[in-house]
Structure 1
Amino acid sequence: MNGRVIRIERVSPRKGAAEEPEFTTKGYKLGDPAHGKRKHHAEDAVYVESLESAAALIGKGFSLWMVAKGKRASLICPSSLKIVWSDKSTAP
């Protein structure tokens, strides 16, 4: 893609909640598909520092933890995520 990732959105967000990728002290939190049914377990989480890195992993099948104010974080599969890119002409 051209430009840079400016946000990652959930295609069908929960009602009444603006969701965003969960960012922890370790970085953006993702679930590795190699762990199968265990990918939602904290000890199997993968962390990255940037949205670009998260987008690259989502492209490889990783799921992303999304959170909203007053809602518990949930693990969202790649097909339910939309990556929003900046226009190449506005990229630094």
Structure 2
Amino acid sequence: MRGCVTKIERASSRCGVIEEPIVTAKGYQLADPAHGTHKNRAEHATYVRTLDEAAVLVERGFSLRMGAKGKPPSLIAPKSLRIVRDGETALV
């Protein structure tokens, strides 16, 4: 059994910032790849409450909205994300 997700991070963050998943009042915001070029629209957003739920969707191809202080949030493709679980260390 795999451990609980402790964080989801961007494999290569923008210069000088540490990006983290954005949490809204509805939860973590993801974009369903089934909506193609329209996946970034608010009406197609998928929200989950936990990082574990977000990780499941990222593993299924969903993009995750991430941001950093002073930078506008953006959708990050699953291939550019790293999921860190209990007992694992993040590779940098």
Counting only pairs closer than 5 Å after superposition, residues 44-55 of structure 1 correspond to structure 2 as 44-55=44-55
Runs of 4+ residues over 3 Å off in structure 1? none
Q: Is the 8 A contact 1:2 1:87 kept in 2?
A: no
- Match of residue 18 from structure 2: 18
- Match of residue 8 from structure 2: 8
> Using the alignment, how far apart are the partners of 1:60 and 1:18 within structure 2?
24
Other structure's SS at 2:3 match: coil
Aligned residues: 88
- Match of residue 81 from structure 1: 81
Other structure's SS at 1:57 match: helix
Q: After superposition, give the CA deviation of every residue in 1:24-55 in whole Å (9 maximum; x if it has no partner).
A: 00000000001000111111100000000000
Letter in 1 for 2:79: S
> Using the alignment, how far apart are the partners of 1:2 and 1:87 within structure 2?
10
Indicate the structure with greater strand content: 2
> Using the alignment, how far apart are the partners of 1:73 and 1:43 within structure 2?
17
> Using the alignment, how far apart are the partners of 2:11 and 2:42 within structure 1?
24
> Using the alignment, how far apart are the partners of 1:51 and 1:24 within structure 2?
13
TM-score (norm 2): 0.92
Other structure's SS at 2:64 match: strand
Counting only pairs closer than 5 Å after superposition, residues 20-35 of structure 1 correspond to structure 2 as 20-35=20-35
Q: In structure 2, list runs of 5 or more residues that go unmatched.
A: none
